[in-house]
Every structure is written in structure tokens, then in C-alpha cells.
Structure 1
């Protein structure tokens, strides 16, 4: 190769390297789900009455702290993002009244297989609950909590309570 071709090749490669570097464009999404993370040090989390929570095949919710505004309808969607059927890895979200003993509730729920692990005897302890879901399914419920406070939530499928629980803070 002669000197002019080599110089031209080096210049072309340099130009390509420079133009390929830089800011990548991203497309905005229309997803309006709740973000429950602080926006900066010392700031409070965003509060939205539209809540999406995911459960997976590793017996985990993607959020353990939810926030909502008192006195306004709350729309909660549970998405089971795993693949395992509900007979082996079912998930639900049960929101309990303040002061309810979670462990005692979960112990009663284990015996309520016929009602998808929602014990009829504990109806007064439940604010709201989703259906029991298998992998790939989702359920959306709507309810209102008028009183500000902290409400525990859990999955009542046998053995899941230990890992799948959190709090709904109503402000």
C-alpha cells in the first residue's frame, strides 16, 4: 500500500471512531407505574395511587415498600413475572389491617387451600387482596384506604410469607 492510501485509511478510521462515540438516544416510555425510590438524599419517595408490584419464581416481590395517598382510590396490579404454575409457585398480595399479626395470619392462610390461601375466618383483618396467580399472570384490584398509616402486605402461598412481605404507607 502506498503512503496516501494508508493515511486515508487512518483518517477514515479516526473519523468513524469519533462519530460513533457519544450520547446514545433513548426512546421515552409511557409507563405510568409507581416509582417508590427517593429522588435524592433526604427527599421522600414519590407517592402514586397506581401501584405495580412483581413477584418472581425466586419468591421475591420487586418492592417491599409502597406509598399511596389516603382517601383516594388505589389501583394495585400484581404481575407474576415467573414461569412456574400457581400450584407450585403461586403469588398474591394481601394487605392487612393495621395491628394484624402477620405470622398468625400466615399460619391460618396455609390451611386455606380451597380459598386460594385467603382464610375466611380472617376476613376482617384484610384490607384488600389480589387473586392467586401463576407464572405470566397478572391481577389488578382497586380499593381505598381512608386512614393514614402503615399497612403490612404479604403473599399467603405456603412458605412465601418469610420472604414475600412489605409495607404500604398511606400518607
Structure 2
């Protein structure tokens, strides 16, 4: 294959992102009770979406554990409150809570976890909140997720 054909092939791939949307995101959490993003947009062409949660801090999960929980905006407060009551053994997520669309397990410094969910569970125009349900964290460790075009 000549150089000009290779260049043409490489350039053609540069124009494919719309056809091959990123159907995953990496969210970092740290020892300062922060996520590295406040907004996630899920492309509606994705059948499934994966959130890769990484705890880039050093503190153990007993003192600075983080998870990633997704609910509708209207379900956020109730799911967060009941998650705290569910305790660490349940990753601070009420078991079988229908308000929770997806969640990772609770992780500590240096750990990671992922969750994959069906994008058909999301509705266009609906607001969604992602948050850490560790006690005291959800008040500031949160952001919005929306279904994009």
C-alpha cells in the first residue's frame, strides 16, 4: 500500500467519531471529596454506557470511600438518604432500590470499579443526578447526567 493510500485511510478514520460514539467515561474521585467532572453526556446512539470509577486518593474506603450512583433528579434526595441508612455492607445503596438506575461498589484509595447500564433506561429531556452516597459526601460529590444527541 502506498503512503497516500495509508494517509487517506488514516484521515477517513478521523471523521468517524459521530458514527462511533464513546459509550464510556472515566470518573475520578479523590481524598478531598470531589469527582473530576460535574457533567456526563451519554450519546443516544449507545446501547450501553459504562462508568469507570477510579479513586485516585490514598485513604481507605472506611474513612473516604466513594461510589458512583445514578438516579433521576427527583429521586436523588430519597435514594441518598436511604443509601446512608443501608450502610457500608450495602455500599450505601438501599438494596433493590428501583430509584437507582446504576451504581458502582464502594471503593477506597487506589481502587477502581465499573458499572454498565442500558441506555434505554434514560429518557430524553429527563434530568439525572450522579453522586457518591458515602455519608456526608452526596451533598457536594454530585453532578448531572443527560442523554445527548
Task: Name the TM-score class by shorter chain.
Answer: 0.7 to 0.9
Partner of 2:112: 138
1:93 aligned onto 2:51: no
Partner SS state of residue 76, structure 1: strand
Q: 2:48 aligns with which of 61, 73, 83?
A: 73
CA contact (8 A) 1:55 1:62 kept: yes
- Residue by residue, what CA displacement relative to the aligned partner does 1:55-74 show, whole Å, maximum 9, x if unpaired? 00000000010011235210
Contact 2:79 2:100 in 1 (8 A): no
Larger Rg: 1
Partner of 1:167: 144
Structure 2 SS opposite 1:124? coil
Q: Which runs of 5+ in 2 are unaligned?
A: 1-20
Cα distance per residue 1:85-130 (max 9 Å; x no partner): 0000000000013531x22222211111131101126x11011000
Matching residue within 20, 24, 35 for 1:61? 35
Query: Retained in 1: the 8 A contact 2:42–2:49?
Result: yes
TM-score, normalization: structure 2? 0.77
Equivalent residues, number:
123
C-alpha contact 2:79 2:93 (8 A) present in aligned 1: no
Secondary structure of the equivalent of 2:143?
strand
TM-score of the two chains, using structure 1 as the length reference: 0.67
What SS does the corresponding residue of 1:111 show, helix, strand or coil? helix
C-alpha contact 1:48 1:67 (8 A) present in aligned 2: no
